[in-house]
Structure 1
Amino acid sequence: MTTQIESAAAIRLGSFVAVFAVMTLWELLAPRRSLSTSKTPRWGSNLGLVVLNTLSLRFLVPMGLVGVTYLAQSKDWGLFHWLETPYWLAVLVSVILLDLVIYWQHVLFHLVPFLWRFHLVHHADLDIDVTTGLRFHTIEIFLSLGIKAVAIVLLGAPPVAVVAFEVLLNATSMFNHSNVQLALGIDAVLRWLVVTPDMHRVHHSWRERETNSNYGFNLPWWDRLFRTYRAQPQDGHLGMTIGLKQIRDEQQAERLHWMLALPFTTDPSPTSEEPQE
Structure 2
Amino acid sequence: MDRYAVIGNPIGHSKSPQIHRLFAEQTGEQMSYEALLAPIDDFAGTLRSFLSDGLGINVTVPFKEQAWALVDQHTSAAQRAGAVNTIQRQADGSLLGDNTDGKGLVRDIQHNAGLSLAGLKILLVGAGGAARGVIQPILAAGPAQLCIVNRTVSKAEALGALFIDLGPVSAAGFQWIEEPVDLIINATSASLAGNLPEISPKLIRPGHTWCYDMMYANEPTPFNRWAAEQGAERCLDGLGMLVEQAAEAFLLWRGVRPETAPVLAALR
TM-score (norm 2): 0.29
Larger relative helix fraction: 1
Higher relative contact order (CA 8 A, sep 6+): 1
Larger relative strand fraction: 2
TM-score (norm 1): 0.29
